[in-house]
Structure 1
Amino acid sequence: MTTSTSSPHKLIHLITGIDNAPLDFGSNFDPYYRLFLSPDPRPHGFILPATVSLMPWPDTFIIDHSARTVTLASPPSSSSLTEHANAAFQEAVDKAINDDLFPILHKEHSEYFRIVGARSFVQVERFAAPLFGIATRGAHLTGYIRDDDGEIKIWVARRSRHLFSYPGLLDSTVAGGIKASHTPLACIKAESTEEACLPPDLVSTHVEPAGAITLANINAKSKLFHSDIIYVFDLEMPRDVVPRPGDDEVEEFVLMGCGEVVERMLKGEFKPNVCPVMIDFLVRRGFITKENEADFEEIQKRLRREIPVPMEADV
């Protein structure tokens, strides 16, 4: 998308600001340790050496410093992978919380995220997920209308100013982390009602799945690595349906034209991980094209990059 020369960013920078891990991270992961769930030969996470040293690993985890691997031993014949893995991760997290070993845990328990590509259902507490460097799942809904001229306008949420993370910044119409036992669609249905007071029947009958954005991030401060799988959904809404805050996480909803969304993203007014979602929507709706955006091919490539952990089971 063509922008003024005074703008400090380009659209591609809004993506690479989040998707900042090298494209070859899967083979160029030094100094991280790979996390394995034996007998699965695929890595499911990438862990900082400092985390490996500090984590109170149960005996079921095998640490190999020369190979830089953390491996959960195969489950005994009397136990399933689900029972074995969930108990092992929970024991480590419980001790880490009780001993207040990692600030990211806030010394409290949290809801569960699943390890996406595991061969069976394996879950880890949400706050602990970045410590293990696993892929996390989120779901975002872009609600929009068409005006009298057929132009798209997007319902953009403004985050409440009292929130700990990104207070007051602009956000997707609806978004949320996907709980371990939930599907992306179930997450969107629940969050649409809770966050935006959208009619459940409207969402159920008119929501359009639009695939998944994949990103890989190294946190600038903590250096923790994680992959992001963001499932995106579109919802064309009747003009007489206006989203309204349903909880204290959203301050207001604002209707914006596509050009204004781009302008505000480039000014840094959007929550960073929402920018790839908005850019993806604008590409799919034909607002951002190869004719008006010099980085169009790179944008498309980065929005669907290969992440270094599996997205589905191999058995």
Structure 2
Amino acid sequence: MAASSTTRTSSRLLDLITVFDNVPLDFEQNCHPYYRLILAPDDRVHGYVHPNTIARMPWPAAFAIDHEKRQVVLSAPPASTSLSAHANAAFQEAVDAAIDGKIFPTLNGMHSEYFLVPGAREFVQIERFAATLFGIGTRGAHLTAYTTTAEGELRIWVARRSKTLYTYPGKLDSTVAGGVKASDSPLDCILAESMEEASLPVSLVGPRVRTTGAITMVNRNPRSELVHSEILYTYDLELSGEGEEVPRLGDDGEVEEFVLMSCEEVKQRMLAGEFKTNVCAVMIDFLIRHGKITPEGEPDYVDICTRLHRKLPVPTRSDV
């Protein structure tokens, strides 16, 4: 069975968030049995490593494991070397050895694009598939495109993921979404993915897309037990629904179709378990911002708003 292809129904919108944001809010203080990842000389925690990873990872000499303190410490760079060069080389050495040894299923036996280590004092990157092994925060960007009908009804362009994708095959998704590469900004990601996934050109998206905030969550994978923080930058784009202002299948083959749905249909299909799990938070955030989920009609309104923007147990900016 492809990863994460099961369907889970819910009766509350809040449950759609907490099924993904499923790590206790005090995890930063109470993270046992995970090991804290330290990038010396910075003493802040940049990730949380599962004991199984600690035991099986072919750790390069630059990493020291302190079982008493439950820490993984990347040594400070030598005087003649930058933190960026030192950390990137150490992470790459570990990932290369893990892939060569076919140690972790999450690596799929292959290399992947680079993700940024948020909050590091210099530019530090790690391969995407390996980020969760080190419990490092990841960045994603989601665009919700919508159309307003002549009657004033707001409708959302929902993508259906290809059934050939390894993760969440056939599930409903944001109009456009992607992981933010290490050297890219969230907007760079949106502009590139809009063309690749939805055939929406930069000339259309660039001048009109609106940045609307960031959603923060912390996920513990129920199968692997790997924990990682997730930052989802959100964007809105209003389309006329005519001519080139209609999402169409792109060249990357990741989308099967685009469906124009009412806000109520989106809510019901989320509750029915038809959406990719982390996308529910994006859709709920959109519906709140557009007045389709209100405190008058949603008993969990305050808890939902709070949970969409939780404090992460890892830094999101440098401290120097």
Query: TM (normalized to structure 2)?
Result: 0.95
Gapped runs of 5+ residues in structure 2? 1-8
Q: After superposition, give the CA deviation of every residue in 1:144-171 in whole Å (9 maximum; x if it has no partner).
A: 0111122210000011112121111110
Aligned partners of 2:11, 2:96: CA distance in 1, in Å? 42
What is the root-mean-square deviation of aligned Cα atoms in Å?
0.8
Q: After superposition, give the CA deviation of every residue in 1:44-64 in whole Å (9 maximum; x if it has no partner).
A: 000011101111111111110
Equivalent position of 1:243 in the other structure: 247
Q: After superposition, give the CA deviation of every residue in 1:72-128 in whole Å (9 maximum; x if it has no partner).
A: 011011100000000000011111111111111111111100101100000000111
Task: Select the residue among 310, 316, 319 that pairs with 1:305.
Answer: 310
Task: Select the residue among 199, 202, 222 that pairs with 1:200.
Answer: 202
Task: Select the residue among 230, 233, 248 that pairs with 1:231.
Answer: 233
Equivalent position of 2:58 in the other structure: 56
User: Which stretch of the first structure deviates more once superposed, 64-73 or 144-153?
Assistant: 144-153
Task: Select the residue among 190, 193, 208 that pairs with 1:191.
Answer: 193
Superposed counterparts of 1:115-134, under 5 Å: 115-134=117-136
> Counterpart of 1:291 in 2: which secondary structure?
coil
Equivalent position of 1:172 in the other structure: 174
Query: How far apart are 1:202 and its partner, in Å?
Result: 1.5
Quote the sequence identity (%): 60
> Counterpart of 1:191 in 2: which secondary structure?
helix
Equivalent position of 1:282 in the other structure: 287
Q: After superposition, give the CA deviation of every residue in 1:119-146 in whole Å (9 maximum; x if it has no partner).
A: 0000000111110000000000000011
Q: After superposition, give the CA deviation of every residue in 1:180-212 in whole Å (9 maximum; x if it has no partner).
A: 100000000000000000121111000000111
> Counterpart of 1:97 in 2: which secondary structure?
helix
> Counterpart of 1:289 in 2: which secondary structure?
coil
Equivalent position of 2:83 in the other structure: 81
* Preserved contact between residue 10 and residue 273 of structure 2 (Cα < 8 Å): no
Query: How far apart are 1:283 and its partner, in Å?
Result: 0.4
Q: After superposition, give the CA deviation of every residue in 1:243-282 in whole Å (9 maximum; x if it has no partner).
A: 1110311011000010000010000111111100000000
> Counterpart of 2:213 in 1: which secondary structure?
strand
Segments of 4+ in structure 1 off by > 6 A? none
Equivalent position of 2:22 in the other structure: 20
Aligned partners of 1:8, 1:283: CA distance in 2, in Å? 19
* Preserved contact between residue 10 and residue 16 of structure 2 (Cα < 8 Å): no
> Counterpart of 2:166 in 1: which secondary structure?
coil
Aligned partners of 1:9, 1:135: CA distance in 2, in Å? 29
Aligned partners of 1:81, 1:224: CA distance in 2, in Å? 26
Aligned partners of 1:189, 1:27: CA distance in 2, in Å? 38
Superposed counterparts of 1:252-263, under 5 Å: 252-263=257-268
Aligned partners of 1:57, 1:143: CA distance in 2, in Å? 44
Aligned partners of 2:278, 2:39: CA distance in 1, in Å? 29
Superposed counterparts of 1:87-106, under 5 Å: 87-106=89-108
Aligned partners of 1:75, 1:167: CA distance in 2, in Å? 42
Aligned partners of 1:189, 1:9: CA distance in 2, in Å? 35
Q: What amino acid does structure 1 have at the position aligned with 2:249?
A: P
Q: Aligned pairs, how many?
A: 309
